[in-house]
């Protein structure tokens, strides 16, 4: 699923590992989300959105091509 995780993370100069630690997941999971290979669970999607101060809809796009 298309998402803004990489954009928001790099805007804050965060490494994937730092975001992973904050979310309690592995760095590979953050990498997979950013590369649209893995769609996070609703709790993780909400935690990510809360962490970056955006809504889930702003962070994830399920209407994309």
Partner 1 sequence: MIKDRSEALMRSKWFMPVFCLTLGVVVLAAGWLGGQLGVGLFGLVVMAAFGLVILLLTRHNETIRGLTTGRDERFAQIDLKATAVAGSVLILTVIVAWLVEVARGHSGQPYDWLGAIGGLAYVAAIALFRWRG
Q: How far is CA 20 from CA 9, 62, 64, in A?
A: 11, 23, 25
Q: Does 56 bind partner 1 (CB under 8 A)?
A: no
User: Distance between CA 28 and CA 50 in Å, rounded?
Assistant: 21
User: Distance between CA 27 and CA 19 in Å, rounded?
Assistant: 8
Q: Does 41 bind partner 1 (CB under 8 A)?
A: yes
By CB under 8 A, name the one of 1, 14, 25, 56 that touches partner 1. Answer: 25
By CB under 8 A, name the one of 28, 50, 55, 58 that touches partner 1. Answer: 28
Window 4-23: residues binding partner 1 (CB under 8 A): none
């Amino acid at each position: 699923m298309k998402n803004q995780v990489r954009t928001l993370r790099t805007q804050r100069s965060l490494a994937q590992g730092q975001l992973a630690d904050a979310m309690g997941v592995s760095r590979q999971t953050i990498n997979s989300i950013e590369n649209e290979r893995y769609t996070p669970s609703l709790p993780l999607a909400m935690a990510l959105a809360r962490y970056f101060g955006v809504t889930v809809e702003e962070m994830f796009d399920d209407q994309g091509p």
